[in-house]
A = this chain, B = another copy of it.
């Protein structure tokens, strides 16, 4: 069978390992440390720095494809991999749209995808003009490097907006601004595409963010109009195809009340790798996003993404203010005893407040009951109390 090199050592790489073991695919990992989340469960590890082309090349040696668990490999390192003849999936010219928000916004607008009004911000004058254009509803974004609410700012007024812009530009941060969306909820399109063109889409997922971090995902998204769901799925297909994405693509969406009062959508972010809003597929779909990503990057036909239950809820296990005295093994035991049907996923990571250290999945028939139980289980796993 095939060999795949994964650059990145977090939980997303870790959760590719079970899918690879089942499919008989060999993984090779470029990890920052031998005890990182993914390196704990993958035998073939090169310890190195993903920003160094030489380290990427060393890990990729002999692999049929190279893929990633994050978007942060610099363009020159990607190019060296391509130049050395590696099958880099997704390809750099697709991946740039997940690396640089301004490039992405321009490309999506070109494609006719719904995006909020935006502008490149290269001076205080730029942000002043944009502030006027959107009646003060400004969201400032670093073009690169943000995640989980980092690199995104919501200035309260023009003065704060100008100060922040000055400060960030002085620090050398490439900036853009976009119209702040008055969102009603967040949705996510999870899609996979392989190099030869096949595309598969999971049902549209709803996600709930807390403090800028995904806390919960519910699939299929409850109370979603069928026409809007179909439109979102088509949008996912179009973006994947037209950007030439390979592997899993997550299109995070803002949902808001449109002009006619009906729910409408705009694109928030793109991620070209398995995504937190797709973890439910591990236990709630015929094909998990991790298996699908591996199939896609070596151009195997994609698996069936149909859901296996009426509803599946994922709740993140986010490090609490402090690690409770009750050891994790006992917390797992209590959750397993109360909820024998909850699927617990832990990442082998130490506790840190707000850090994603695992998640639970729960399939059921009733959305609210399933959400309640999934969240109770996730909460107990970090706090040690019901």
Contacts and interface: CB of A to CB of B under 8 A. Distances in A.
A19 B19 CA distance: 11
Interface string A288-316: 00000001001011111010110000000
Contact of A333 (B41, B301, B304): B301
B336 A301 contact: yes
Given A24-B346, A346-B1, A304 B341 contact: yes
A42 interface: yes
B41 A336 contact: no
Interface in A12-68: 14-15, 17-24, 26, 39-43, 45
B286 A341 contact: yes
A18 B14 contact: no
Given A21-B14, A358-B24, A300 B42 contact: no
A348 interface: yes
Chain A contact-residue range equals 35 or more
Number of copies of this chain that the complex holds: 2
A347 interface: yes
Contacts of A41: 17, 20-21, 43
B301 A347 contact: no
Query: Most chain-B Cβ atoms within 10 A of its Cβ — which of A39, A287, A336, A358?
Result: A336
A302 B340 CA distance: 7
Contacts of A306: 341
A323 to B, nearest CB: 13
Nearest to A349: B24
A18 B329 CA distance: 18
B1 A345 contact: no
B332 A1 contact: yes
A300 B24 contact: no
Contacts of A259: none
A344 interface: yes
A308 B310 CA distance: 11
A337 interface: yes
Given A329-B1, A348-B24, A337 B43 contact: no
A355 to B, nearest CB: 14
Interface of A: 1-2, 14-15, 17-24, 26, 39-43, 45, 200, 282, 286-287, 295, 298, 300-304, 306, 308-309, 328-329, 332-333, 336-337, 340-341, 343-348, 358, 363
19 contacts: A1-B329, A1-B332, A17-B41, A21-B40, A21-B41, A23-B344, A24-B328, A24-B346, A40-B43, A42-B43, A43-B43, A43-B45, A287-B340, A295-B336, A300-B333, A301-B337, A301-B340, A303-B340, A306-B341
Given A23-B332, A43-B43, 17 more contacts: A1-B346, A1-B348, A2-B329, A14-B21, A17-B41, A22-B343, A24-B328, A24-B348, A26-B40, A41-B43, A286-B341, A287-B340, A300-B332, A301-B333, A301-B340, A303-B336, A306-B341
